[in-house]
Chains A and B, each alone.
Chain A
Amino acid sequence: MSDTVSFDLAQVSVRELNRYFHSELPGSEVTRISVQNPNGRHSIGVGLDCPVEVEIHGHAGYFIAGMNKQAKVTVHGNVGWSVGENMMSGEVRVNGHASESAGASAHGGLLAIDGDASSRCGISLKGGNLVVAGDVGHFSAFMAQAGTMVVCGNAGANLGDSLYEAVVYVGGAIDSLGADAREEPMEATDVEAVRGLLAEAGFEGDAGSFRRVASARSLYHWNAEAHQEY
């Protein structure tokens, strides 16, 4: 068997492709998968769990590479909602723009988007690393619990609302911070963290010019006298 296998989604269904990913691929000698004609279809490569490289050529739909483990998935096009959601490990790369909720609840791995990401990027991030070369939309990093988000461009309104322990670094302007998010001084370890993630994602940027946003932790304990003002 060749070490590269191609699938044309104009010919086979996403269900057939994912069945191959789950049952035949693990343990085989195949190291590369090429997917043609995604045409905005959803759920391509959900549940991958082996060290394979998947290249998707064209715009893809929702939940691409969701729950990914080990695999390196690259989309040469835009993606819809929730790319790399709940990723556990591996790498998901978007050579285009991403719609809402990119990297939602990702526990591990790297999600790199070389265009813009839309609203709620990194919502409920649980430990993954998320690097966006462009801008992110409103309510990004909402309730993000662990992991790191690097935004080279601008961040929309309410960045980091109700943050837990995830840290967000922003290179451009921040429209506004959400409840309980605050800007903190950049330490040498922060600059190093940004430099490392930019290098890992393959994006340019002056790590020293980024700003750090983290939780003020005032929402950690309910305060009835705060009247919902934080």
Chain B
Amino acid sequence: MCGIVGLLIRRPELRASLGELAVPMLDCMGDRGPDSAGLAVFAPQQDSTCLGFSLYWRGGVPDWDAVLEQHREAAGGDATLDANGDNGLLWSSSAPADVATWLNQEWPCINLLSVGHRIRLFKDEGHPRDIASRYGFESLSGTHLVGHTRMATESMVSPAHAHPFTAGQDFCLVHNGSLSNPNSVRRRLQRRGIAFETDNDTEAGCRYLEWRMREGDSLEEAIESSFGELDGFFTFLMATAEKMVLVRDAFACKPAVVAETDDYVAVGSEFRALAHLPGIAGAKVYEPSPQVIYSWPVVEAGAPQQTAVVS
């Protein structure tokens, strides 16, 4: 079944409450996906010379100090690491490919979850409520986030198979549904040299979209082209540093509800995930139409508000 949630803050003063508003959304959608969960949060850019690498330590007691020390020795002294249990965010000026190679060789117990200037990604096994509490999602601040609660149907339950999936930089995707041709999509992308970490159908969709964007498509154009390439049922919720984007397949068997106010845009699989949000009684609540791409821009502090761009 699975549940998806997304929240984009329009009033900058509310950014500090992003996590606090989102935790009940994830908790509620635990009914639709109790086996694992994840969340990608986007924060304003702090240091343009460094990239953030979200890391997940599989099993055992994390030794983030050792990881940071070794990275500084190998790559220079400017790196920092923000540890949060088995999740760590490494800030480094090294190239993403170099970091990935170093991790593969030196730290095979670490998964690289995301790369980007703004994204931090958490995902793990367990009930979404427990995962939110484990990492302290309530205290997260930022411009927007997307989250997922998983009820696995097509591939195993593991932290790596949980959503969000990422590819490239500052891009992530959560998915409610199932693709029926992920194997052929994966094989075609692999022939282009694109590496996969799991056999999960959503990873194939995520890497397909990111490949299209590297080929020059906008995210919206990539989604348009996916209508002819990705077969199956989906409500996709995506985020980049600049926007949050939602689309449902032509049959729209997988639900989604949107609530918009002057303060935020909220997306959930069901309305009850949004019912606690402030001002919800006056919100514009609607069900997104099939195969319509909804795109909400991130509101920079002080910038005028923009409404959804529908294509």
Given contacts A39-B272, A40-B270, A40-B271, contact A78 B285 (CB under 8 A): yes
> Is the C-beta of A109 less than 8 angstroms from some C-beta in chain B?
no
Q: Is B287 a contact of A97 with CB atoms below 8 Å?
A: yes
> Is the C-beta of B67 less than 8 angstroms from some C-beta in chain A?
no
Q: Is B275 a contact of A59 with CB atoms below 8 Å?
A: yes
Selected from A41, A61, A119, the residue in CB contact (under 8 A) with B252 is A119
Given contacts A78-B285, A99-B255, A100-B255, contact A119 B272 (CB under 8 A): no
Interface of B is mostly: loop
Most buried by B among A42, A59, A80, A99: A59
> Is the C-beta of B174 less than 8 angstroms from some C-beta in chain A?
no
Chain A residues with Cβ under 8 A from B286's Cβ?
A: 97
Most buried by A among B255, B272, B276: B272
Q: Is A40 a contact of B275 with CB atoms below 8 Å?
A: yes
> Is the C-beta of B290 less than 8 angstroms from some C-beta in chain A?
yes
From residue 256 to 296 of chain B, which have CB atoms closer than 8 A to chain A?
257, 270-276, 281, 285-287, 289-290
A58 to B251, CA, bound (A): 28
Closest A residue to B286 by beta carbon equals A97
Question: How distant is B259 from chain A, measured CB to nearest CB, in Å?
Answer: 10
A99 to B285, CA, bound (A): 12
Question: How distant is A177 from chain B, measured CB to nearest CB, in Å?
Answer: 17
Given contacts A59-B285, A78-B285, A81-B255, contact A40 B274 (CB under 8 A): yes
Question: How distant is B245 from chain A, measured CB to nearest CB, in Å?
Answer: 21
Chain A residues with Cβ under 8 A from B276's Cβ?
A: 39
Closest A residue to B276 by beta carbon equals A39
Interface residues of B, count at CB 8 A: 17
A122 to B46, CA, bound (A): 53
Q: Is B272 a contact of A61 with CB atoms below 8 Å?
A: yes
Q: Is A99 a contact of B287 with CB atoms below 8 Å?
A: yes
A123 to B205, CA, bound (A): 31
Question: How distant is A111 from chain B, measured CB to nearest CB, in Å?
Answer: 18
> Is the C-beta of A145 less than 8 angstroms from some C-beta in chain B?
no
- Which 10 interchain pairs have the tightest Cβ spacing? A40-B272, A40-B271, A39-B275, A40-B275, A59-B271, A118-B287, A119-B252, A61-B272, A99-B287, A39-B272
Selected from A58, A61, A118, the residue in CB contact (under 8 A) with B270 is A61
Chain B residues with Cβ under 8 A from A93's Cβ?
A: none
Chain B residues with Cβ under 8 A from A69's Cβ?
A: none
A119 to B286, CA, bound (A): 14
Q: Is A78 a contact of B252 with CB atoms below 8 Å?
A: no
Question: How distant is B279 from chain A, measured CB to nearest CB, in Å?
Answer: 14
Chain A residues with Cβ under 8 A from B272's Cβ?
A: 39-42, 61
Closest B residue to A60 by beta carbon equals B271
Question: How distant is B135 from chain A, measured CB to nearest CB, in Å?
Answer: 26
Question: How distant is A122 from chain B, measured CB to nearest CB, in Å?
Answer: 16
Closest A residue to B28 by beta carbon equals A40
A59 to B251, CA, bound (A): 24
Closest B residue to A119 by beta carbon equals B252
Chain B residues with Cβ under 8 A from A58's Cβ?
A: 281
Selected from B251, B270, B289, the residue in CB contact (under 8 A) with A80 is B270
Q: Is A78 a contact of B255 with CB atoms below 8 Å?
A: no
Closest A residue to B268 by beta carbon equals A40
> Is the C-beta of A195 less than 8 angstroms from some C-beta in chain B?
no
A77 to B252, CA, bound (A): 22
- Since A59-B285, A61-B270, A137-B252 are in contact, a sample of 20 more A-B pairs with Cβ atoms closer than 8 Å, ordered by chain A residue number, is A39-B271, A39-B275, A39-B276, A40-B270, A40-B271, A40-B273, A40-B274, A40-B275, A41-B272, A59-B271, A61-B271, A62-B270, A80-B270, A99-B255, A100-B252, A100-B255, A118-B287, A119-B251, A138-B252, A138-B290
Chain B residues with Cβ under 8 A from A39's Cβ?
A: 271-272, 275-276
A40 to B269, CA, bound (A): 11
8 contacts between A and B (CB under 8 A): A40-B272, A59-B275, A61-B270, A61-B272, A78-B285, A80-B270, A118-B287, A119-B251
Given contacts A100-B255, A119-B252, contact A78 B271 (CB under 8 A): yes
Chain A residues with Cβ under 8 A from B252's Cβ?
A: 100, 118-119, 137-138
From residue 7 to 49 of chain B, which have CB atoms closer than 8 A to chain A?
none
Q: A89-100 vs B: 1/0 string, CB under 8 Å? A: 000000001011
